[in-house]
Chain A
Amino acid sequence: MNTLVKAALSAALLVGTSYNALAVERGGTLKYGRYADSLFLDPVLNDANVDIWVLSNLYDTLILPTDDGKGLKPGLATEWKVSGDGLTVTLTLRDGIKFSDGSPITPADVQWSLKRAADPKKGIWNFLVGSIQDVTTDGDHTVIIKLKNTDPAILAALTVFNTAILPMKAFEASEGTTDEEKAKSFSAHPISSGPFVLQSWDHGQSMKLTRNENYWAKGEDGKPLPYLDGIDFEVIPDDATRILKLQSGEIDGAEFIPYARVDELKQADGIDMKLYPSTRVEYITMNVRPKIGDKDNPLSNEKVRQAMNYATNKEAIIQVVTHGVGSQMTSFMSSATPLHKGDKPLYPYDLDKAKQLMKDAGFENGFETSLLVLAGNQDEIGIATAVQQMWGQIGIKLDLQQVDNPSRTQQYRDGTFTMREAAWTDDIADPNEIASYFVYSPTIGALHSGWKSDEADKLFEASQKEIDAAKRADQYAKMQDIYNASGPILPLYETPYPVALSKKVQGFVQIPLGNNIFGAAWLQK
C-alpha cells in the first residue's frame, strides 16, 4: 500500500472515530450493578452513602458540583452572589424550570426545601447548612439566604444532596401527619427535579429510573437531557457476580470493583475499567487516651504513634492490598479535597527512625496492643496482617480482633477501642466536613480517639467563619500541619473509585464525592 493511501485511510479512520466521540446517541436503558440497595430516598432524612450516591439523579440542587468535585456550576440557579459582609446569599433561579410532573419550580419550593434541610430536628446532615438563619423570596426568580454567621462553605453546601429541591405542595399533600411519614410516602413515588424519575423500586433487587421529560439541562445535541431513556440499578452484593454479570453483558456497569481485579479488567475486551478520582482515604484510628479501661495505653505517647507510622511501609501495603491502585497520603484529607496541603507522603518508611522513637518513648522492648478488624473484609485483614508483621520489627505485638461492624462501631463510640481501621469520603466539596470529624474535638472527639488540640479547635472555629479565601487556606494549612504531626490517625492510602463499564457506556461520571452522575451518560448502539 502506498503512503498516500495509508494516509488517506488513517485520516478517514480518525475522522470516523472523532465523529463517533462527538455524536451522542439517545435512548436505551443503562443497567448498573450496585453492591447494595438504597434504603430511603429522602434527601434530608436519609442516612447512608447508598442513598446519597444516587439521589443526585433524582433531585437537583441550586448549584451543582463540577466533574472534578471541587468547583461549582449552575444548577437550578443560574447566578449567585454573596454580599460584602458575607451574611447574605442571593440566588437567581433558572427560567422555566419544572418538576417532573410539569409544575413549575418556584422560589417557595426552594425556600421550603432549604429550611427543611437546615432544621436541626430533621436528619443528620443539617450541620452542613447550619449557618442558615432564614430563607426569603423576592419575585418569581430570587431566593435570599440570610446567614447567622459568615460561612465560607455555604455555596459548596448548596451542591450537597440534602439541599436538593423538592415540590413543597406535593410533599405536604403526601400521606402521613409527621414530616417523616410524609417523606416516606412521598419518596415512594417522588416528583423529581433532577434528570431522572423513580419508576419502580423492588427493595433489595432493583430500582428503575426513567428520564424526567421536564428536565432543564440541554445535551450536546441541543435537546433536553438526559440522553438515556432510563437506568436500571440492580443489586448484586457479591463482587465476583457483579463482574460476571458485566462480562456476560447482562449489565453495562459495575461499581466497587475489588482492587485485585482492576488489572485483569483493564485488559478485558469490551470493558472500560475506570478509576475515578475520589476523596476516599484509608487510615488506622488510634485511641490516644492515657488509659483504656484500667490499662495504660502506650498509644497516648506521640512518639510511639510516630514510630508506628515510620515502621509502616505504606507503599508495600498499597501494592499488597490495593494492587497498586492506591497512592500514599500527603495529608489526612485526600488530595481531591479543596485546601488540601502536602506534596510528599506522610511518614516515609524508616525503620531506624521508628526504633529510635520507640527508645525515646521508653518502649525499647515494645508492648502489646490490639487492632479491630472487620470480619470477612479482605482489605482490612490484608492491612492488619501487614502492619502486624511490620510493627513486630519495633517490638509491638499486635492482637487482631475480628468483629462485625456494629460491634466495632459500639467500641468506637464508647472510646473503648484501641485501634481500628477506617475509611472516609467527603460529602461536600469543602474541607470543613472532614476537619470537623477528624480534627475538631467537639463533634465526635476527633474520631472518638480522645485527641484534642486547643489550637486546632480554634483554627477550625475561625475557618468556619473566614470569608477571606487566602486566610482560610492558611488556617487549613496550619490545621493539617498540627494534625499530620501528632494526630490520632495513621494514614495508609487514598484510592480512586474503581468502576467497570461496558465500552458502550459514554459520559458517565463518578465525582470525587462518590455521586454517580448519569445525567449526561449515553449508550453507544
Chain B
Amino acid sequence: MPLLGFIFRRVLQTIPTIAFILVVTFILVRLLPGDPASAMLGDRAIDADVQRINAKLGLDRPIPVQFLYFTKAVFTGDLGNSIGLKLPVIELISRRLPVTLMLTGMAALIALLVAVPLSFVAALNRGGAPDAIIRGTFQIGLSMPVFYVGLVLLTVFAAKLRWFPVGGYGQNFFDDLYHLFLPATTLALSLSAVLMRNLRAAIIGVVGADYVDFARAKGLRARVIMVRHVLRNALISTVTLFGLSIGTLLGGAVITETVFAIPGAGRLMIEAIYGRDYPVIQGLTIALALLVSFTFLLTDIVQAWLDPRVVR
C-alpha cells in the first residue's frame, strides 16, 4: 500500500513543522512591545498594578522558564486561560474555530462551484466573448479589497434588498448557513478568481493533449472525456493551489469576520493580539497550524490519488 506509507510519512513530517511554529510563535509574541497587563489595564494603569498582574500571570519569570511551563501545558492539553476574557483557551477555541471552519469551508465550496464550471466555459470558448466576460469579471473580483466587497454586498443584498441579515451568526445549522452566505461569498470571490485562472489554463493544456485525442478517437462520449480525462488531469495543479489557498482563506476570514460581525477564530486572534493575550495567541496558532498542516496533508493525498506518480 504505497499510499498508506506516503500518508504516514507526511504525518510524521507535520510534527517538526508544528513544533517549529510553536517555538517561533512563543518567541515572537514575547518580542512584541507591550505586555498583557498594560494592554488590559490601558493607559491609566499604575506601575504597581501592572507588576502585580504580570507576576500573577507568571510573566515576571525568565523566558526559558515560561517556555518550559508552556511546553508542559501543551503536552498536557491545557492551554491555560485567556488573560482578558478569563476563560479557558480550549473552550474559546472550540467555540470560535468551528465558526471560522464553517465560513472558510463554505467559501471554499462556493469558490469551487463557481470556478470549475466557469473555467470549462472559458477554456472551451477560448478567446471568445464568454471567455472575455468571465475573465474580466474575475479580474475585478481579484483586485478589490475584501472589506470593500463585503460592505458592498452588505449594503445591496442585506440593507437594501433585505435578502440576508446584516452580519451576525445564526442559532442553528441552517440559520448559520443563511447568515454566512454573504460573508462566504465575499471570501470566495478572490479564491474563485485564482482557481479559475489556473484551471482554465490547465484545461486548455489538457484538451490539446494526445491522450484526449486518443479518447476521442476511441469514440468516448464528450462528457466522459471532459470529466474522466480533462477534469481529472487539469485538477492536479489546481488541487495544490486550492490547498495552499486555505491559509490565505483563513487570513481573509479575519477581515470578513470583522466586517460581518461573525464571532470566529479570526476575530478572536485579532483581539488577542491587540490585548497581548499570550495564551490565546499561542493556542490559536497551534490550532490553526494543525488545521493548515492537515489541509496540506489532505491536498497531498488527493493529489496522490489523482496522480499516482506523486507517491513514488
Contact = CB atoms under 8 A, between A and B. Distances in A.
Interface stretch (B40-48, B116-124, B219-227, B286-294): B40-48
A315 B29 CA distance: 41
Interface stretch (B20-28, B259-267, B299-307): B259-267
B132 interface: no
Contact of A412 (B43, B95, B158, B168): B43
A354 to B, nearest CB: 28
Given A184-B86, A236-B261, A240-B151, A406 B38 contact: yes
Contacts of A202: 263
Given A48-B42, A203-B87, A238 B261 contact: yes
A204 B96 contact: yes
A234 B261 CA distance: 9
Interface string B81-109: 00011110000100110000000000000
Contact of A248 (B85, B166, B276): B166
Given A204-B263, A205-B169, A406 B159 contact: no
B32 A203 contact: no
B32 A406 contact: yes
Given A245-B167, A404-B274, A124 B41 contact: yes
Given A205-B169, A237-B267, A238-B259, A248 B38 contact: no
A163 interface: no
Interface residues of B, number: 46
Q: Is the interface of B mostly helix, strand, loop or mixed?
A: helix
Contacts, number: 114
Q: Which of A235, A237, A250, A409 has the most CB of B within 10 A?
A: A409
A205 B168 CA distance: 8
B34 A407 contact: yes
Nearest to B84: A39
Contacts of B267: 204, 237
Contacts of A235: 261, 263
A47 interface: yes
Interface residues of A, number: 37
Interface string A224-242: 0000000000111110111
A411 interface: yes
Contacts of B158: 244, 248
Interface in A217-271: 234-238, 240-242, 244-245, 247-248, 250
B159 A244 contact: yes
A240 B154 CA distance: 10
B165 interface: yes
A20 interface: no
Contacts of A248: 158-159, 162, 166
Nearest to B273: A404
B166 A250 contact: yes
Contact of B276 (A237, A238, A406): A406
B155 interface: yes
B60 interface: no
A241 B166 contact: yes
B39 interface: yes
Q: Which of B32, B86, B92, B151 has the most CB of A within 10 A?
A: B86
A444 B263 contact: no
A40 B166 contact: no
Contact of B42 (A47, A184, A205, A240): A47
B168 to A, nearest CB: 7
Contacts of A204: 96, 263, 267-268, 271
A40 B33 contact: no
A247 B276 CA distance: 35
Contacts of B168: 205, 234, 236, 245, 250
A472 B96 CA distance: 52
Given A39-B86, A40-B84, A241-B261, 6 more contacts: A39-B84, A240-B154, A247-B159, A403-B33, A409-B34, A443-B46
24 contacts: A39-B86, A40-B85, A47-B40, A47-B41, A48-B42, A184-B86, A203-B87, A203-B263, A205-B263, A238-B260, A240-B151, A240-B259, A241-B167, A241-B260, A244-B154, A404-B273, A404-B274, A405-B274, A406-B33, A406-B34, A406-B274, A407-B33, A407-B34, A409-B34
